[in-house]
A and B are shown apart, each in its own frame.
Chain A
Amino acid sequence: MIHKSRVAIGAVVLTATVLLAGCTSTSVSQTGSVSKAVEPLVLYAAEAYDANMGKAFTAKTGIPVKVVDDSTGPLLTKVAAEKNNPQWSLLWVDGDTAFASLDQQGELLKYQPTAAYNTVGKAILPTDNSYFPTGTTVMAALIYNSAKVTSVPTTYQDLTTAAYRGQVGMNDPSQSGPTYPFIAGIMNQLGGQAAGVADGEAYFSQLKSNGLKVYPTNGDTLHALETGQINYGLIQSSAATGETINVKPTSKYAPKVVYLPKSTLLPSVLGIDKAIDKTQQAEAEKFVDFALSPAGQKVMQAADTAGDSLYWPVVNGVTALSQLPTFPSAYQRIDPTYWGPLQAKVVTWFDTSIK
Chain B
Amino acid sequence: MTIIERKKVDVGTGVEPVAGAVSAPSGHRVRVRGARKRYGAVEALAGIDLDIEVGKFMVLLGPSGSGKTTLLRGIAGIERFDAGTVHFGDNPISGGQKHAPAERRDLSMVFQDYALWPHLTVEQNVGYALRRRRLDSHTRRKLVNETLERVGLDAKLESYPGELSGGQQQRVALARALVARPALLLFDEPLSNLDADLRERLRVEIATLTRESGATALYITHDQSEAFALADEIGVLRAGLLEQRGTPEDIFRSPATQFVARFTGIAGSFVGRAVGDRDGYFRVRVGDHELSCRAAAGVTPGSLVDLLIRPTASSLGERLGDQPAQIPGTVVDIAFRGRGYEHVIESAYGQLTSVFDTHPWARGSACAIRIDPDGCIAYPQP
Q: Which A residues contact B (CB, under 8 angstroms)?
A: 1-2
Contact = CB atoms under 8 A, between A and B. Distances in A.
Nearest to A6: B101
Nearest to B79: A1
Interface string B77-90: 11110000000000
Majority SS at the chain B contact face: loop
Contacts of B80: 1-2
Contacts of A2: 77-78, 80, 99, 101-102
A182 to B, nearest CB: 65
B94 to A, nearest CB: 11
8 contacts: A1-B79, A1-B80, A2-B77, A2-B78, A2-B80, A2-B99, A2-B101, A2-B102
Contacts of A1: 79-80
B81 to A, nearest CB: 12
A2 B79 CA distance: 8
B73 to A, nearest CB: 11
Given A1-B79, A2-B78, A2-B101, 5 more contacts: A1-B80, A2-B77, A2-B80, A2-B99, A2-B102
Which 8 residue pairs are nearest across A and B when measured between Cβ atoms?
A2-B101, A1-B80, A1-B79, A2-B80, A2-B99, A2-B102, A2-B77, A2-B78
Q: State which size class the interface on B falls in.
A: under 10
B204 to A, nearest CB: 34
A2 B73 CA distance: 12
Contacts of B99: 2
Contacts of B79: 1
Contacts of B101: 2
Interface string B106-143: 00000000000000000000000000000000000000
B12 to A, nearest CB: 45
Nearest to B102: A2
Contacts of B78: 2
A6 to B, nearest CB: 9
B36 to A, nearest CB: 16
Nearest to B101: A2
A1 B78 CA distance: 8
A195 B78 CA distance: 81
A1 B77 CA distance: 11
B107 to A, nearest CB: 15
Interface in B53-89: 77-80
Interface string B191-209: 0000000000000000000
A1 B80 CA distance: 9
B316 to A, nearest CB: 55
A1 B70 CA distance: 14
Nearest to B78: A2
A1 B101 CA distance: 11
Nearest to B77: A2
B299 to A, nearest CB: 46
A8 B1 CA distance: 48
B302 to A, nearest CB: 53
A2 B102 CA distance: 10
A2 B77 CA distance: 9
A5 to B, nearest CB: 11
A198 B80 CA distance: 77
B364 to A, nearest CB: 59
Nearest to A3: B78
A2 B99 CA distance: 10
Interface string B95-109: 000010110000000
B260 to A, nearest CB: 33
A246 B207 CA distance: 90
B355 to A, nearest CB: 50
B86 to A, nearest CB: 15
